[in-house]
Structure 1
């Protein structure tokens, strides 16, 4: 098995979006809305302006893993003097390819993208499945994370 890694382009975007929706469903999302148009709009705009990048793992022509990174900026603070933050998303590996180091390689590539962008930190809301991967990579828990839904 020879896995190839490449950056997401418009050519793979349709498949990437479908995989993202499947991932959200696998993680327990129950909402009955069509998220495809909103995801298409988001990825198209943010890929164009450089504030979203993604890496793919391919086995032949089949996309078997994904990773994504959105770049946001907030006022600088002591923990992140640049104010630039990478928001990790779309970490997903096809069930048949898990536990082979693919997710680790995809994670390394998008974290490198965040570093090159000038981010001082990378954040993720981790699924139960992902916690082990992120902890092994060096992520730590921030128990102060809170959310207010509008």
Structure 2
């Protein structure tokens, strides 16, 4: 097994999108809509303007792990004086490659990207499977997180 890590490019986007959809289903999504056009639009726009970065893991030509970091800006607050926030997403490792440190390496790389971008914090809505990875990395729970569906 010869794993290489690299930044996501347009060349890998189709596979990346399919892995994102697989991840959402694995996490329990049941909606039956075609998300591919929306994901293509999002990634193409935000990769182009630098507000989305991703590191992927490959074994040969096969993508076996993904990560993603979207950069957003809010009014500065005491916990994040820059107002810049990294939203972590797309953390997924092929089931045959899990428990080998791949997700931790990908996480480390996208968190570094967030730091370089000037983010003061990184946020994620963690799957049950991901909680241990994020806790071990140093993420803290925020019990007040809420959302309102429009």
Q: TM-score range by the shorter chain?
A: over 0.9
Instruction: Report the counterpart of residue 127 of structure 2 in structure 1.
Output: 127
Instruction: Report the counterpart of residue 2 of structure 1 in structure 2.
Output: 2
Instruction: Report the counterpart of residue 92 of structure 1 in structure 2.
Output: 92
Distance 1:25 1:49 in 2: 28
Structure 1 residues 42-100: Cα deviation after superposition (integer angstroms, max 9, x where no partner)? 00000000000000000000000000000000000000000000000000000000000
Distance 2:33 2:2 in 1: 37
Instruction: Report the counterpart of residue 112 of structure 2 in structure 1.
Output: 112
Q: Is residue 2:35 matched to residue 1:32?
A: no
Distance 2:104 2:44 in 1: 26
Distance 2:16 2:120 in 1: 27
Distance 2:135 2:120 in 1: 18
State the 1:115 CA deviation: 0.2
CA RMSD of aligned residues (A): 0.3
Runs of 4+ in 1 over 6 A off after TM superposition: none
Distance 2:102 2:22 in 1: 18
TM-score, normalisation: structure 2 = 1.00
Distance 2:113 2:122 in 1: 11
Instruction: Report the counterpart of residue 49 of structure 2 in structure 1.
Output: 49
Distance 1:25 1:34 in 2: 13
Distance 1:60 1:42 in 2: 27
State the 1:2 CA deviation: 1.2
Q: Is residue 2:75 matched to residue 1:75?
A: yes
Distance 2:9 2:58 in 1: 13
TM-score, normalisation: structure 1 = 1.00
Q: Any stretches of 5+ residues in structure 2 without a counterpart?
A: none
Distance 2:95 2:19 in 1: 12
Distance 1:128 1:24 in 2: 13
